[in-house]
């Protein structure tokens, strides 16, 4: 279920219908079903271990599917969303509200705002230190960090899975076998709320599978045309930064 947004154009909506048809076809494949069952098995085994953990959510596609799978497996844990108030796409909250209405979770939000941040907020690579501190605190309080990263996201993610598998001492990443196409097919199959960002394709000019819901104007992950895409759809937020 696509969450609506005034930022979507008529051409965006038309192209979305085409994307949905592809997701429907993919959801009927044997390979998709097998990967879903394998992932649910990995999650069930992790939950059964009794290890303390929390599930991190961003309300993007991966974390919505992750949350649904953990809910389906009867997870008794904290689900945490760390909100960047200065740069947050409004669709995040719309997805959150729709999901929690149908799937109640033990849910927590942590809010921060970089509007008045100085250089001490960031490390030399431009990554926000405050986020790193929040994550470290969450791990102290709740245990292992469950994340929705996928093997097919990037070369860096593939290296991570090849070296560590799905679990490290501080993190658990069950989407070792799920592809981006599987994620969208799963959302369609389960009628989960879908962030409007993924339909903001410039009438088919942008690749739905590479669009993200991360904070607008973030220095991390600004490649693959993300900066240009943000200028097209979120100039109001960029102008405030």
pLDDT at 69: 97
* pLDDT surpasses 80 at 18: yes
Q: What angle do CA 51, 100, 70 make, to 5 degrees?
A: 30
Token pair of 161 as six digits: 């899975």
Among the four given CATH numbers 2.60.40.1180, 3.40.50.620, 3.40.50.720, 3.40.50.2000, the one describing domain 10-214: 3.40.50.620
Alpha helices in the chain (DSSP H): 10-27, 30-48, 61-72, 91-102, 129-142, 155-164, 180-190, 226-233, 235-240
Which range is least confidently modeled, 45-49, 53-57, 72-76, 134-138?
A: 134-138
CA 199 to chain centre: 15
Strand order in the sheet with 171-172: 106-112, 78-84, 53-57, 144-146, 171-172
Which range is least confidently modeled, 57-61, 109-113, 210-214?
A: 109-113
pLDDT at 224: 63
Domain boundaries, the chain: 10-214
pLDDT in tens, 46-57: 999 999 999 999
Please tell me whether residue 160 adopts helix, strand or coil conformation. helix
- Closest CA relative to residue 120, chosen from 112, 128, 108, 109: 128
């Amino acid at each position: 279920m696509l969450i609506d947004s005034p930022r979507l154009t008529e051409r965006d909506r038309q192209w979305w219908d085409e994307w949905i048809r592809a997701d429907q076809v993919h959801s009927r494949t044997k390979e998709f079903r097998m990967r879903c069952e394998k992932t649910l098995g990995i999650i069930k085994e992790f939950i059964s271990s009794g290890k303390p953990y929390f599930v991190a959510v961003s309300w993007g596609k991966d974390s919505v599917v992750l949350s649904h799978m953990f809910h389906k497996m009867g997870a008794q844990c904290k689900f945490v969303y760390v909100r960047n108030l200065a740069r947050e796409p409004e669709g995040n909250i719309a997805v959150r509200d729709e999901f929690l209405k149908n799937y109640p979770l033990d849910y927590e939000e942590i809010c921060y705002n970089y509007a008045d941040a100085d250089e001490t907020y960031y490390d030399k690579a431009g990554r926000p230190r405050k986020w790193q501190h929040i994550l470290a605190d969450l791990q102290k309080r709740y245990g292992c960090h469950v994340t929705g990263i996928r093997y097919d996201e990037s070369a860096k993610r593939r290296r991570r899975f090849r070296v560590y598998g799905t679990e490290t001492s501080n993190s658990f990443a069950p989407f070792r076998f799920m592809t981006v196409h599987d994620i969208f097919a799963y959302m369609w199959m389960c009628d989960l709320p879908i962030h409007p960002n993924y339909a903001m394709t410039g009438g088919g000019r942008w690749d739905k599978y590479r669009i993200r819901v991360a904070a607008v104007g973030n220095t991390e992950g600004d490649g693959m045309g993300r900066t240009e895409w943000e200028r097209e759809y979120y100039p109001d937020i960029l102008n405030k930064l």
